[in-house]
Amino acid sequence: EQVTLGFTPDATMVWIGQRNNKGGTFMRFGFCFALVGAGVVSASFVHASTCSDYFSDRRFTLLVPHSAGGGYDAYARAFAPVFEEATGATMVVNNLIAANGAVAMNRIVDATAQDRVIGFTGVGIPVETPGFDPMSVTPLVSVYSDVTAWVTKADADLDALWEEGMVGGGDTLVSTLPNLALVAKALGADMSIVTGYDGTDAVNAAILRGEIDLDARSATSAMRAADVGDLKLAMTLTQAPLPGANAPAFGDVFEARLEGASDEDRAQREAYAEVVTGLALSMRAFYVSYQITGDDLACLADTIGDVANSAAFRAAADAVNRPVETMSHDDTRASYTDFVRATEASQDVLEAIRPEFE
């Protein structure tokens, strides 16, 4: 049972401990931080010897299977110095994008606890990468959970695209099938897919050049792109409208476009729609190899969680316009497991429609 041992009224210092089954209190892992100035942290950890030895003066590698300068990279580079200050460790951010992230994920899986390799990526990379076992990694903590959305040019008319047919784009066919192709099938709209774009900037440029009409990404990233003015968030892949998003929800569009469908068509499209909403999670989280268990996993999960929840990290993320809404280790694992199950359940459906988009 986790207990708070001390908490100052101005919330500048927190100590976390655990109560043993005899009613006493011991510090399996403790964390305290004091805010100094505008979000700067003077931090120290009070560890059991296992955790202290694991972090202090050690070198950690934070693998990011996404390009430098993007959203995941921004989170990672905001996190690393706060982690270093809090633990006394060194953390090196390494952008490893080869094979659409598969190389990075395999390196994470092969790393032992003593290698001190952590990954930071979205839920799609470990779950949707061909040939990769999603259960070969363990999610630690999510720093932000989101839903998937569509992005188009600012002057695009989504209603017109339904009737004229549309072109979706992305990096690989595997990544675009659930969030673009399947959505179009559920909505009874014609779509073709163009792949091979390396990163969000390349996709944005393709939309503005008119090579493709739209892309799927997290709603937060979509709204950020819309802030520039050339693009807009066109639809969220949710049942109900997303607060703060000036765009229709998939559920509302689906119901409107289902009118007049035959019983057979309706049944098929409803099956597609169920898969779409089950795969709409977009979660930015830290991952380690499934080989890391016991005290090592506990130290990593607790430490990453406490740093992610610190005011210093929130300030650093805010400075690069990245929101932070953390989930606990247990909740992160549960959400990840649910997404893995939804993905596994969708495989037959996605394989059935794949030939139409190759």
pLDDT mean over 28-52 = 41
Q: What gap in Å lies between CA 307 and CA 86, rounded to an integer?
A: 7
pLDDT mean over 175-187 = 94
Q: For residue 29, is pLDDT > 70?
A: no
Q: For residue 6, is pLDDT > 60?
A: no
pLDDT for 228 equals 82
pLDDT mean over 182-186 = 96
Res. 294 pLDDT band, cuts 50 70 90: very high
- Which tokens in the block code for residue 282? 């977009």
Q: For residue 20, is pLDDT > 60?
A: no
- CA dist list (Å): 248 to 95, 199, 251, 358: 35, 26, 8, 29
Contact predicate 56/62, CB 8 Å: no
Q: What gap in Å lies between CA 305 and CA 329, rounded to an integer?
A: 7
pLDDT for 32 equals 35
pLDDT for 299 equals 95
More confidently predicted of 175 and 270: 270
* Percentage helix, strand, coil for the chain under 3-state DSSP, each rounded to 5: 45, 25, 25
- Which tokens in the block code for residue 116? 């001190």
Q: What gap in Å lies between CA 100 and CA 52, rounded to an integer?
A: 35
Full-model pTM: 0.70
Q: What gap in Å lies between CA 181 and CA 164, rounded to an integer?
A: 16
Give the strand order in the sheet containing 25-26. Answer: 2-7, 14-19, 25-26
Q: For residue 2, is pLDDT > 50?
A: no
* Highest mean pLDDT pick, 6-10, 19-23, 208-212: 208-212
Q: If DSSP states are collapsed to H, E and C, what string results for 83-125?
A: HHHHHCCEEEEEECCHHHHHHHHHHHHHCCHHHCEEEEEECHH
Q: What gap in Å lies between CA 131 and CA 22, rounded to an integer?
A: 47
pLDDT for 4 equals 33
Mean of the per-residue pLDDT values of the chain: 85
pLDDT mean over 174-193 = 94
- CA dist list (Å): 208 to 62, 153, 156, 157: 33, 6, 11, 14
More confidently predicted of 112 and 4: 112
Which stretches of the chain are assigned E, i.e. beta strand?
A: 2-7, 14-19, 25-26, 29-36, 40-47, 59-64, 90-95, 117-122, 137-153, 166-169, 191-194, 214-218, 231-236, 281-289
Task: Provide, rounded to the nearest whole percent, the portion of the chain with pLDDT above 70.
Answer: 86
pLDDT for 243 equals 86
Q: What gap in Å lies between CA 273 and CA 184, rounded to an integer?
A: 10
Q: What gap in Å lies between CA 269 and CA 274, rounded to an integer?
A: 9
Torsion sign, CA atoms 312, 244, 330, 273:
negative
Q: For residue 21, is pLDDT > 50?
A: no
Q: What gap in Å lies between CA 279 and CA 342, rounded to an integer?
A: 6
More confidently predicted of 290 and 70: 290
pLDDT for 25 equals 30
Q: For residue 1, is pLDDT > 80?
A: no
pLDDT for 50 equals 66
pLDDT mean over 313-324 = 95
Write out pLDDT tens, residues 214-267. 999 988 888 888 888 899 999 999 999 988 888 999 999 999 999 999 999 999
Q: What gap in Å lies between CA 217 and CA 280, rounded to an integer?
A: 10
Q: For residue 37, is pLDDT > 60?
A: no
Contact predicate 58/116, CB 8 Å: yes
